[in-house]
Structure 1
């Protein structure tokens, strides 16, 4: 079984990533993606752990000498978006697209695995490579954690491409890098009536208007200006025709926070507002809360380390601002220390845009960076 040279690895990764992009799969449906990853790993004699995973892969490269264990994580799922990028390898699956660059992330860590395999005889320790499913649902990390494959890991690193950073730029920061992400639903149940006789009913649309106005005061009147949080209502449904006051209304939205304190406070305040408005208007107002991942919370020591290694690898490094996007890498950081880094992918379209593209020139350098990061992290841990 031939070992790929660095230039061959670069060419392989471009082709591999394009193949994933052609055939994207949604969260928890990444069966072909999983098969392709396993096939690629086995082609270079890289060990795959036998774990009870529906989709996704955890591989391992064990050095010839004992030592610590680190993990490198990428995500593999796509989004329900109709692609409009017009690249030659546009998605063949109608309405499904790698619009967040997970095909890029997967290819980067696959390349890292190939590079590390070439030097496994010189490694003192173990590197676990996580190809995680279902990041877009916010809960794929838990499936990996439930296998206990990370129980003996000392530190974990993850990546995301960033279209706002140029090719050759790499960034991260101490503490909160992404937001905690929660989803909420509000169900209003009241009494319908003829539109000409509103006094005979209890208009849920009026009630909904008060809910919307009141929820927006949470940020402006309860969250200190020095802190950041978002409450966004993204769906409203009520009624079915022009001359009938309906008896129900429905709202849905998201809350984004960067601290556990604000996260808990906003949920409590929304419950108080919903209950209070229900009492005021003699209606049933029910808040349903769907907790998602918390904030990615980088350990300062490892965030600094990631930037230092980035500079060694030839990147222009920078401390980036926190982003209100969500990332379930945060669940790993609840169990063990680590850092999440942003790799410049060149833009011009943002994540989740139907015209989103990644500059493939960023692929091999990112793989080489994570190879160096893994080796240096083993050395740092070995030194204590």
Structure 2
């Protein structure tokens, strides 16, 4: 076992206290101004220089005593618009806003890692950057850090997320695809309005739109390799104004999740093709607009192997458990476009403490014992990468 975990245990109370303060005072995406101030105060105490990025993000830089590579560690800082229904004594003081995804823990673990690494500064061969990132829930924060130059010169990066499927003391680190990419697709049908008694004198859009909704599942089954997961969900369908008026407009919003970029392109092309074909068949106009929300997350094989070795030093042998790929999305992959990266799931499940809920639940709760492992993994990975 690594002595890094022992070092973290000495500041475990500090990490927990900081997390509880954040949990009590949550802030929504890109409005985490007080959270930013609290982090800056701690970085000032540690003597770690930083610069602001975006609305509320921070890029902190710790230069080691020797020259070398650069590794980036990321922690997200935003909360969710959820009314908390837990029984913790430090529950949210802001009605309707809650740290229901554990970003308060992620932030505190990264800060704890910064504290440990700052004490080892002279031994570090290279540079460690700490990204305290806003707006993960809106998939906007990573781009802001990148735009501010955060990834310039970075050789590798690590991110992590607490996970309910794993008990405290366990971790998941695997190569390859781990989380899905996400696109929102807006399809608008435009016809000609008219009286409901004479639909042949108008151009209805509701009927063609209904055909399109059922038709796109054929894209999943007929155009895409069944070995490549993809999900298309129509979450919004709005058409017409009154029962006896033929609907001039019908609008559909589709959420699409995918892993492979090739599959993504096939699906995009097919959606446009099918929409146009149905529009032509019913002599109406169709507009398709695709909005990228997040890219699919793919762990670099070499870094995943290194992170697994780091995890063994922290968690022990046999604690890296396999998990299926997740159809949920993250904005961490935007960093991976600029340097190779790896993403870990760290277990917080503890049934005795009722830490059993998946993120985004109003009763979401973590086992705070898990934070020492996440903190130590940040530190150990950074040291292992920079020294190899």
Query: Normalization by structure 2: what TM-score?
Result: 0.91
Which of 23, 26, 34 aligns to 2:25? It is 23
Please provide the CA RMSD for this pair: 1.8
Gaps of 5+ in 2: 1-6, 350-354
Aligned counterpart, 1:326: 329
The superposition leaves residues 217-267 of structure 1 with CA deviations (integer Å, 9 ceiling, x where unpaired) of 111111111111111111112234444443222211211111110011111
Q: CA deviation at 1:329?
A: 0.9
State the distance in 2 between where 1:297 and 1:323 align: 11
* Distance verdict in 2 for CA 1:84–1:201, change over 3 Å: farther
- Whether the 8 Å CA contact 2:239–2:251 is kept in 1: the answer is yes
The correspondence of residues 71-86 of structure 1 with structure 2, limited to 5 A, is 71-86=72-87
Alignment of 1:297-316 (within 5 A): 297-315=298-316, 316=319
Whole-Å separation in 2 of the counterparts to 1:141 and 1:216: 32
Name 2:263's counterpart in structure 1.
262
- Give unpaired runs (5+ residues) of structure 1: none
| Structure 1 residue 127, shift from structure 2 partner | 0.9
Alpha-carbon spacing, 1:141–1:52, altered in 2? closer, same or farther (3 Å)? closer
| 1:8 Cα deviation from its structure 2 partner | 5.4
Cα displacement string for residues 126-152 of structure 1 (whole angstroms, at most 9, x for unaligned residues) = 111111111122232111111223211
What does residue 381 of structure 2 align with? Answer: 373
Equivalent residue pairs, number:
375
Q: CA deviation at 1:93?
A: 2.3
Q: 1:71 to 1:322 in 2, by over 3 A?
A: same
Structure 2 partner of 1:356: 364
Question: Which residue does the alignment assign to 2:104?
Answer: 103
Q: Which moved more, 1:248-257 or 1:238-247?
A: 238-247
Q: Distance in 1 between matches of 2:373 and 2:162?
A: 13
**Which residue of structure 1 lines up, in the alignment, with residue 180 of structure 2?**
179
More off after superposition, 79-88 vs 93-102: 79-88
* Distance in 2 (alpha carbons) for counterparts of 1:121 and 1:356: 40
State whether residues 173 and 321 of structure 1, in contact with CA within 8 Å, keep that contact through their aligned partners in structure 2: no
1:1-384 map, 5 Å: 6-7=8-9, 9-48=11-50, 50-315=51-316, 316-346=319-349, 347-380=355-388
Does structure 2 retain, via aligned residues, the 8 Å contact 1:139–1:293?
no
* Cα distance in 2 for residues equivalent to 1:13 and 1:62: 23
SS of aligned partner of 2:360: coil
Q: Shift of the alpha carbon at 1:32?
A: 1.1
Maintained 8 Å contact 2:184/2:256: yes
Secondary structure of 1:319's aligned partner? coil
Within 1, Cα distance between the matches of 2:201 and 2:85?
Answer: 50
